[in-house]
Every structure is written in C-alpha cells, then in structure tokens.
Amino acid sequence: PTTIHLTDYRQPDYLIDETHLTFELFEDHALVHSRLAMRANAAGEGGALPPLVLHGQDLVLQSVALDEQALTADAWQVDDSSLTLQPQAREFELAITTRIEPQNNTALEGLYKSGGMFCTQCEAEGFRKITYYLDRPDVMSRFTTTVMAERGSYPVLLSNGNLIASGEHEGGRHWATWEDPFPKPAYLFALVAGDLYRIDDSFTTMSGREVELRIYVEPENREQCGHAMDSLKRSMRWDEEVYGREYDLDIFMIVAVNDFNMGAMENKGLNIFNSSCVLAHPDTATDMAFQRVEAVVAHEYFHNWSGNRVTCRDWFQLSLKEGFTVFRDAEFSADMNSRTVKRIEDVTFLRANQFAEDAGPMAHPVRPDSYMEISNFYTLTIYEKGAEVVRMLHTLLGAEGFRKGTDLYFERHDGQAVTCDDFIAALEDANEADFTQFKRWYSQAGTPVLQVDGRYDAASSTFQLLCRQSCPATPGQTEKLPFVIPLRLALLDGEGREMPLQLAGETQARGTETVLAVTEAEQLFVFENVREEPLPSLLRGFSAPVKLVYPYSRDDRVFLAMHDPDGFNRWEAAQSLAVDVLQGLIGIHQAGRPLLLDQRLLEVHRAVLKDDSLDPAMVAEILRLPSEAYLVELAEEADVEAIHHVRDWVRRELATALAETMWSRFRQLGDGAGAYRADAESMARRSLRNTLLGYLMLTESSEALSVCVQQFVEAGNMTDRQAALVALVNSPHEQQKHAALEEFAQRWNAYPLVMDQWFSIQAASPLPGGLERVQGLMKHPAFTLRNPNKVRALIGAFANQNLANFHRADGAGYRFVADQIIELNRLNPQIASRMLTPLTRWRKFDEPRQLLMKAELARILASDDLSPDVYEVVSKSLA
Ligand code: HT7
Ligand code: ZN
C-alpha cells in the first residue's frame, strides 16, 4: 500500500455538478447505472484537458458513454483502483454501468446485505465500491437516485433527500426515485432496500417548518424505538437552542441494521445505524445502552451541520467534523444528564484509551500528516482528543465567543469542503483572537505532561505556581513546541473554601476560579493577597488533555476528595489517591511483601458512601477503582499479574471493611421495584446500587449471594439483571453462575443485542480459564465472525477487558486473537484492523510477553492477502 501525504493535496481536476444513479437490485448481483454531469475544474478555456481518473474498486465495468456516445474498451484504462479516460470537452456527461455483488460483500463497505436488507456504508471510501466516481470529499454533487427491486422482499426503497416519484414494474418489481437538493460528497450517499417497519413522528423547527421523522427497523424491533425518537427530537431542539442550527430537509430518516462496522453514519437525511445504537427497551437494554443511543443519535444528527452542510476538504481534516461533533454531542449529553458524571466518564475513557494510543506506535496528530488506509484513522485521537481540542477553544473563548465563532464558521462555509484551519480562522475572526500557537494541538501528537509546583510565601502573602510543560516523542516527531494549555484552577483555604484570585500585574481580581493560559515551556504565575497557604485545585473539569503532575501528598488528595467544591476535582482527587495507593501496593506485591491497605482510601470511600448530598452516580464513580487498562497506561512496564492481583485485593479489602456501610446504602437505595425510568436520577440510583452489589458479592457472604440471585431472577429491567449476572459470573458460585447464564441465554436467544452482552460478560471475566471459555463460545450458534457486534462482544472484550487471560504467560491469548485477525482480514479488514490494537501495545509489557506479542504480529504480517488496513497497523507497530 502507498502512503498518502497531506502536503500532496491538490484540487480535483474535474467536478461533478449532478449525479443520477439507478440501482437494479437482484439476489445475486446489482447493476449500478450512473449519469454524471461533469466539468473541468481549472479556470479558463484553452490548454489540454487532463485525463479523468475515477476511483473504483471491486467493480465489473459494463459500459461507458461520453455525451451519449458509447465508448469502446480502447478508449479507457481500468485497473484495481481506477478508470481513466480522456474527456474531449470542458463540460460533458459521463454514463457508466457497473455490476457488483452486494450479497458477497462481507467487508460491509459500499453496498452490502445485512440480513435480508440492502444497505450502504460509503464513508470514507466506500462509494468507489459501488461505481466509478471522484470519491473524495471535496467533490460535491446533487444526487438523484432511483432504486429498483422486487416488491415482496424489498417493499421499502430509500435514499437521501425527498421521494419524488415511485412506481411498479412488471414481474413484481417496483421503484422509487429520491432527490437530494443539497450538494454532497459521495461519502454521504446512502441507499436502503428492505422489509422494514416504520415508526413515525414529527418535529416543528424553530422557523415553524414541519419535519417528518421516521425510524425504520426490522418488524420485531418496533417496540424498541421510542428512546431513539425522543433523543432525536431533543437533539433537534438542542441544536437550535445552543447553536442556532435548524434542520433543512422535510424528512429525516434513521434505519437500523444488524451488521455495521461502526456505531452509525450521518448520510444526508438517511442516517444508517448499527442497531445497537438505536434499539433500547428497559427489558433488553441497560442504562449504559440507553445513554449510548441518546449520544449516537445526537452525534449523527449534529453532523447535519458539522459534517454535511460544512464538510471536510480531505480526510486529513477528519477531526474537523468528528472532533467538533463529539464535543457537541458531549455537551448535549451533559445538558440532558449530570454534567459532572458525563465529564468523569469521558475523561476516564480518554485517559485509559486515547492516552495509550498517543503513546503507542499508531500515535498521530489530530490532523494527521499521512496515512495508508483512511479507515485506520477513525481513531480516539481524531474523535476524543479532537473533541478535547474543541473544548479548549470553547474554554478559551467562553460560551458566547465560541458561539460567535461557530455562527461565522457555518455562515462562511455553508456548502463547502473546508479545513481545520478554516474552522480556527472563523473562531479567530469572530473574536479577534490569535490561535497560531494553539494550532499545535492539531499538528503535534502525544500527550503533554504539565508539571506544576506551588510555593507559598507567608511574608508577602503570595502563592507562586511554576508550570513546566513537555511532550514525549511520537513516531516521526521527536521535538515538540509548547502547547497552549488552558489551566482551570482555584485555591482552597484550610476549610476547603475557594479564595479570591489576584494575579500579580493585573488590576482586576479574577473571582475564585480562573483559567490560566500556559503557553511557555516554563512559566511562573504569582497570586497576590493570598491570606493563608492554599491547596490548589488544578485542571478543573480536565481543562486540557494533559498529564498533570503536582506534588500532592496523600493527605492533600484526601482533603480535596472530601472538600473540593468542584465535583469533577473531588472525583479526580479520590481517583488519584486510589492510583497512588494501587501503584504503591503493586510495588510491594512485586517485592513479595504483604499488602496493607492505606486506611485513608477506605475513609474517603466510607465518607462518600455516607454523604447523602452527593449525586449517587458520583458516589458510584468514586467507588469505582481506576481500571486495569488505566493502570497499564500509567506504568512504565506493566506487570499484568500484579496489577490484576492488587486491584482485586483492594476491592475485596474495601468490600470487607465497608460491608456494613455498603449494605445500609444498598438497602436505602431501594430494590429497583416500580416502573423503569430512564431519567438521570433513576439511572444514578441503579448505578450506585449495582456498584455496591458488585462489592458486596466480593465478601462472599451468603446474604450477598441470595440478594444477587434474587435480583437476577426478579429484576424488572436489563440494567439490574445484567449487573447481577456480571457479579455471579465473576463469583466462585459455580452452580448459580451456570444456572444464570443458561437461563439468560434461553430467555434472550432471539435478541442479538442481548446475546452480545451475554458473550461480552463471559469474555471479560478475569477468572482463570478465560481463553478456553471464549474458544468454547466461538462455537455457540449465536456467534459469527461475520457480524462486527459479535466480534467486538467476544474477541474485543477478551483482548481489551480481560487483562489476566489475554496476557497469559504462555502467549495462548495472543495466538488466539492473532488467529481471529487472520481470518477476519479475509472477511472484514476494517474489523480485523481494529482487533489488532491490544497486540500493538507490546512495548508496555515484560520482555517475554513482548516477544510473544511481536511473534504474533510477525505471523499476521506474513499471512496471505493482507489488506492495507491490517498491513498498515501491523507494520507500523513493529517498526
Ligand atoms: N462518520 C461516521 C464514520 C463511519 C465509518 C468510518 C469508517 C468505516 C465505517 C464507518 N461507519 C461510520 C460515523 C460518525 O462518526 O458519526
Ligand atoms: Zn461522527
């Protein structure tokens, strides 16, 4: 595979003003007829016309006509990836017919079949698997699409935009024509044909237009769409209120499919969703699934402006739409639920996963410089770090300034394909700001380290904060220049109250919380009139995606965990205390000395458990110890056995010592009876109660076991039932565990998404014999490597969430995952490539494990017919 560089970007030689597509769909093939109104892009007449090079892959070319004249085969050249011909005029009509086989498309890119339905996935470069085209985001065209299929099996025929005509053909076939008035790049094209049930609703926009809302699902899922529809309406309202963005077509459709490589796709007017991100019913979906549906529906809807109306010039700019849209959906979720808890969840995820990516062999800037396979760059860096970068801009400008900037961005670039620089320029111009240095966040990879030291001088009543920043080397980038790091902070007095902030050299006081912009490698900030030695509360709300180092003692962390008025930093203090305690104990365990729990951690947990004023979801977050993945990320060399052993030991110690307090809080939270409610308060209650159940089961008391079994049997919703199942599966109670697993599988075997949970719970269980259990489950009739959700549920959960078993010292876990990747490489390269991530992290582990992991990567590299997706990740991770 070749490497594509950002610096090689050139404008397209030709543009496509109109795209007319006709699809004839059959069981064993599809014919795609395209008619393109094209013109040369270069200004002016004169000069030779360049050759027209269209993208195309896995296509059988049937015919080509230029201005209605059929061409003979000597007038074009075709290879694996393109069709080249020579236009004779600056403006012309090109007509092409291709033949494809959607029923054999297991890569789920282009036009494929999911169950009995035809559907498409064109981002990033899937359209070229449908027909020859200029498949690049800066070529925007008005699409008209006719879909023809047999009426009995495919009564519903959909594409982007508005339905403008439909009719019958002889022999039981029918057709429908859709017209999308908005020019769009090919990656936003969509088509669906199937036997689907339709749920209808409507939304009146802020200007009073009525929009038809439709969700299409397989008929048996029709009761599971209410939450997605509510989420959609709330998203539409929120985008009007917060960003002034109104929906533009008369119809908005969502279709749920079972086989999908990612979460969902924002095709114009016709979003296609992984069914896991649409369907939610209390009987079958957990609270987490409800929240994911809400977030993904919002995310895809928000793309209508941040992505569709204003799109990316090239794929190096992917974070322009993804980072911004993740930021928008995170703010939406924060407004719909608890803001602090949402932030805690996102920061936890970022630190355990994106930080690891930024420190690994695939590390890349938010705007990468090069790639081999763009599908590999739908990463946590593009999405989550990209969203943090937008969040920092929001922090620096304030909500009002940020809104002025986004208004200008949407107004200035509506209908265009633009760059991250254009986004920044709009924010700058609307605010008279200068983000030249800030833009280093787009070009430099790696997680910066922000080292802060504080010194109080009682004589002068000053408090000095010395900030030093650095950023580790990443592939291709050894030296980094200083970033702009927004540091939100307060100074707390001995009672935990925020003190007034007065910076030396400034006349205006800054209130009791401020944001400092750290811009130098080393920078001193001096606060004056500080009446007593403060304890700083730093990086509040995780105001920048950095690793903060401050010489807090454990007592300082306890104090902040108990007193910081900022909820996020209270959690952060408890979390960092737990990290410190766990890291200390890991060292003690490695030295073969007996473990002893620091009582301060226990007392913090006891105090929050007893604090009725705290949101129960916050209590649950504080009680949840740092994950094994995060501890691996923080370690220089991760000792998997020690990490697993010590974390498990601390959980048991906490459970034993706090059993009484936990029982009383557990009972006080009620038994979950009564109608299920998906509101934040009810979810918070279930979250804490089930966290406590997990702890109480560690005490191995018969009472805990019977409460857990009872909850499993009697639960009125999937959240409680699943929490009980997890606790049983991870317990030593073999009989109850097997009975529960059996009962669960029997009851839910007709529900693929519930069975995904069943696979995943078992795959993630750290008890010995995990690999053999997973190997056994691969043979279960509900499992198939062809369905990405199943692969993620079983192989993904095993490799990412089951540290103890995946990293077995004999390397059998690695061998198993490598075998699956080799098989998946044939079927679905995108999914194969994603499954590689845990193996690419080999540098984190001890030498024997490094050798075993590298050997598996080398075996994959040597296997036949390697896709560019897998090749890129394996070769870069071994480099
Ligand atoms: N913009 C969408 C990206 C996407 C995708 C990319 C590669 C392969 C398959 C895919 N399915 C969806 C999703 C989003 O961020 O909204
Ligand atoms: Zn997106």
Query: Could you tell me the CA-to-CA distances from 72 to 35, 64, 76 in Å, in that order?
Result: 17, 8, 8
Nearest ligand 1 atom, CA 307: 1
Which residues have beta carbons under 5 A from ligand 2 (an ion)? 322, 325
Identify the residue whose C-alpha is closest to ligand 1 atom 14.
Answer: 265
**Runs of H (alpha helix) within 459-613:** 554-563, 567-590, 599-610
Enter the pTM of the model. 0.98
Give me 354's structure tokens: 């994106």
CB atoms within 10 A of CB 262: 18
**Alpha-carbon gap, residue 333 to 680, rounded angstroms:** 11
Of 83, 91, 95, give the one whose Cα is nearest residue 40: 91
Distance 236 CA to ligand 1 centre (A): 21
**Alpha-carbon gap, residue 698 to 703, rounded angstroms:** 12
What percent of the chain stands above pLDDT 70? 99
Ligand 1 pocket, mutate which of 297, 300, 378 (most atoms under 8 A from CB): 378
Q: Which residues contact 779 (CB under 8 A, 6 or more apart)?
A: none
Stretch(es) of the chain classified as CATH 1.25.50.10: 749-879
As a whole number, the mean pLDDT across the chain is 98
Nearest ligand 1 atom, CA 296: 16
Domain 749-879 has CATH 3.30.30.10: no
DSSP SS3 for 295: helix
Q: Confidence class of residue 45 from pLDDT cuts 50, 70 and 90?
A: low
Query: What digits encode the pLDDT tens for the residues 352-368?
Result: 999 999 999 999 999 99
**Alpha-carbon gap, residue 634 to 626, rounded angstroms:** 11
Query: What digits encode the pLDDT tens for the residues 622-637?
Result: 999 999 999 999 999 9
Stretch(es) of the chain classified as CATH 2.60.40.1840: 449-550
Ligand 1 pocket, mutate which of 119, 188, 265, 374 (most atoms under 8 A from CB): 265
Nearest ligand 1 atom, CA 383: 15
pLDDT at residue 768, rounded to an integer: 97
pLDDT at residue 336, rounded to an integer: 97
Distance 261 CA to ligand 1 centre (A): 8
Instruction: Please state the length of the chain.
Output: 879
**Alpha-carbon gap, residue 861 to 878, rounded angstroms:** 10
Query: What digits encode the pLDDT tens for the residues 203-258?
Result: 999 999 999 999 999 999 999 999 999 999 999 999 999 999 999 999 999 999 99
Q: What is the mean pLDDT of residues 5-20?
A: 98
Q: Which residues line ligand 1 (CB under 6 A)?
A: 121, 123-124, 261-262, 264-266, 299-300, 303, 322, 375, 378, 830
pLDDT at residue 484, rounded to an integer: 99
- 802 within 8 A of 765, measured Cβ to Cβ: yes
Does residue 380 register a pLDDT over 80? yes
Ligand closest to 327 (CA) is 2
Distance 272 CA to ligand 1 centre (A): 10
Q: Confidence class of residue 42 from pLDDT cuts 50, 70 and 90?
A: confident
Q: What is the mean pLDDT of residues 657-667?
A: 98
Ligand 1 pocket, mutate which of 109, 123, 271 (most atoms under 8 A from CB): 123
Burial readout 627-636 (b: 16 or more C-beta within 10 A, e: otherwise): bbbbbbbbbe
Distance 261 CA to ligand 2 centre (A): 13
Identify the residue whose C-alpha is closest to ligand 1 atom 5.
Answer: 123
Ligand closest to 187 (CA) is 1
Nearest ligand 1 atom, CA 374: 7
Give the active site residue among 125, 218, 300, 384: 300
CATH homologous superfamily for the domain 312-443: Neutral Protease Domain 2 (1.10.390.10)
Distance 235 CA to ligand 2 centre (A): 15
Query: What digits encode the pLDDT tens for the residues 486-505?
Result: 999 999 999 999 999 999 99
Of 229, 236, 363, give the one whose Cα is nearest residue 302: 236
Give me 141's structure tokens: 């065209």
Nearest ligand 1 atom, CA 300: 16
Distance 138 CA to ligand 2 centre (A): 18
Query: What digits encode the pLDDT tens for the residues 602-613?
Result: 999 999 999 999
**Alpha-carbon gap, residue 721 to 732, rounded angstroms:** 19
Nearest ligand 1 atom, CA 261: 9
Secondary structure of 265-284 as H, E, C letters: ECCCCEEEEEHHHCCCCCCC
Place of tokens 């070529």: 139
Distance 321 CA to ligand 2 centre (A): 7
Of 497, 631, 506, give the one whose Cα is nearest residue 559: 497
pLDDT at residue 44, rounded to an integer: 59
Q: Which residues contact 637 (CB under 8 A, 6 or more apart)?
A: 844, 845, 846
Q: What is the mean pLDDT of residues 54-81?
A: 98
Query: What digits encode the pLDDT tens for the residues 385-403?
Result: 999 999 999 999 999 999 9
- Which helix (H) or strand (E) segment holds residue 856: the answer is helix 847-861
Identify the residue whose C-alpha is closest to ligand 1 atom 10.
Answer: 262
Identify the residue whose C-alpha is closest to ligand 1 atom 15.
Answer: 322
CB atoms within 10 A of CB 522: 12
Of 673, 751, 683, give the one whose Cα is nearest residue 714: 673
Identify the residue whose C-alpha is closest to ligand 1 atom 12.
Answer: 265
Ligand closest to 277 (CA) is 1
Distance 266 CA to ligand 1 centre (A): 8
- 158 within 8 A of 189, measured Cβ to Cβ: no
Distance 426 CA to ligand 1 centre (A): 26
Nearest ligand 1 atom, CA 262: 11
- Residue 38, classified by CB atoms within 10 Å of its CB into exposed (0-12), middle (13-18) or buried (19+), is buried
Query: What digits encode the pLDDT tens for the residues 685-706?
Result: 999 999 999 999 999 899 999 9
End-to-end Cα separation, the chain, in angstroms: 16
Stretch(es) of the chain classified as CATH 1.10.390.10: 312-443
Q: Confidence class of residue 676 from pLDDT cuts 50, 70 and 90?
A: confident
Identify the residue whose C-alpha is closest to ligand 1 atom 11.
Answer: 262
pLDDT at residue 873, rounded to an integer: 98
Query: What digits encode the pLDDT tens for the residues 758-782?
Result: 999 999 999 999 999 999 999 999 9
Q: Confidence class of residue 670 from pLDDT cuts 50, 70 and 90?
A: confident
- The half-sphere exposure of 3 on its side-chain side, counting CA atoms within 13 A, is 11
* Residue 300 annotated among the catalytic residues of the structure: yes
**Alpha-carbon gap, residue 382 to 839, rounded angstroms:** 21
CB atoms within 10 A of CB 865: 9
865: left (phi over 0), alpha (psi -120 to 50) or beta: left
- 165 within 8 A of 178, measured Cβ to Cβ: no
Nearest ligand 1 atom, CA 326: 15
Query: Could you tell me the CA-to-CA distances from 521 to 199, 442, 503, 538 in Å, in that order?
Result: 56, 18, 20, 18
Ligand closest to 378 (CA) is 1
Identify the residue whose C-alpha is closest to ligand 1 atom 13.
Answer: 265
Q: Confidence class of residue 46 from pLDDT cuts 50, 70 and 90?
A: low
pLDDT at residue 110, rounded to an integer: 99
Distance 783 CA to ligand 1 centre (A): 24
Q: Confidence class of residue 671 from pLDDT cuts 50, 70 and 90?
A: low
Ligand closest to 262 (CA) is 1
Burial readout 578-595 (b: 16 or more C-beta within 10 A, e: otherwise): bbbbbbebbeebeeeeee
Does residue 673 register a pLDDT over 70? no
pLDDT at residue 672, rounded to an integer: 58
Give me 148's structure tokens: 């023809």
Domain 449-550 has CATH 2.60.40.1840: yes
**Alpha-carbon gap, residue 405 to 394, rounded angstroms:** 10
Ligand closest to 323 (CA) is 2
What percent of the chain stands above pLDDT 90? 98
Identify the residue whose C-alpha is closest to ligand 1 atom 6.
Answer: 123
Distance 405 CA to ligand 2 centre (A): 21
Greater confidence (42 vs 653) lies with 653
CB atoms within 10 A of CB 777: 19
Distance 262 CA to ligand 2 centre (A): 10
Ligand 1 pocket, mutate which of 254, 262, 830 (most atoms under 8 A from CB): 262
Ligand closest to 125 (CA) is 1
**76-78 β-sheet, strand order:** 52-55, 82-85, 76-78
Identify the residue whose C-alpha is closest to ligand 1 atom 1.
Answer: 265
Query: Could you tell me the CA-to-CA distances from 817 to 725, 767, 836 in Å, in that order?
Result: 26, 18, 8
Nearest ligand 1 atom, CA 830: 8
Distance 525 CA to ligand 1 centre (A): 43
